[in-house]
Amino acid sequence: MAMFLMNAHNIISSCCGTSGNVFAKIFHNNQDQHDNHASSHAAAAFSGVAGAGGAAAAKPFGGAKKFGFTDKQAKYEDVPWSKLPLDARKAAKVIGFEQKSWDDKEWLEIDDKHWHDMTPEETKACETLGWDKESWEHKYEHTSWNDMPKHVQQAAEKLGWNKEKWDNDWDVPAWEKEWTDFTPEEQRCLHVLGYYVHTWG
């Protein structure tokens, strides 16, 4: 049937031309519809890829930063329960927190434990919240400047230390302050080092 229509199209086109030929219009319109359909699919696919790329680009790797540090680097200490990511909230529950105790910054049993006394589940939960052994146990005080993570060095610098002062255990003016005397930025820097309201001073 398709061959018959094609032959008819060719015969009529040869004598009547394509402009007034109904077969030509049918074949031409069908081709246009096919091309438009394909173009629409291609445009939609490109738009989807661009949109996905744009969304990925809009979200910084590792999460948004506040005062130069991610929430995880600051141990989520200044993040209210309602804004904790799901994995951080689950981790907080593992070590004994609920919304009220988290938002009220209560001292819990986990705070009395040394890193090596924790269960594997507790250690994993603390790591999810941004802690490691050095920040939990020593606030990096036993770690040389060059061995500290870059973001910890940056936090220490904002509080007044540099390599010489840190490695030689020099005091800086921050040592003389009460917790409530610190600005929100300084408190976040202390969180990065491993301090919080109950362990400072």
Residue 169 tokens read as 């255990």
* Predicted confidence band of residue 63 (pLDDT cuts 50, 70, 90): low
Cα dihedral across residues 185, 190, 195, 197: positive or negative: negative
Asked whether residue 68 carries a pLDDT value surpassing 90, the answer given is: yes
Task: Tell me the per-residue pLDDT of 82-138, one tens digit each, with 9 for 90 and over.
Answer: 999 999 999 999 999 999 999 999 999 999 999 999 999 999 999 999 999 999 999
Q: Which residue has the higher pLDDT, 195 or 45?
A: 195
Distance CA 170, CA 164 (A): 8
Res 64: pLDDT: 79
Give the per-residue pLDDT at 17: 46
**Residue the block writes with tokens 């329960």:** 81
Average pLDDT over residues 37-48: 40
Q: Tell me the average pLDDT across 37-45.
A: 40
Q: Is the pTM of this model over 0.95?
A: no
Domain regions of the chain by residue span: 2-58, 65-193
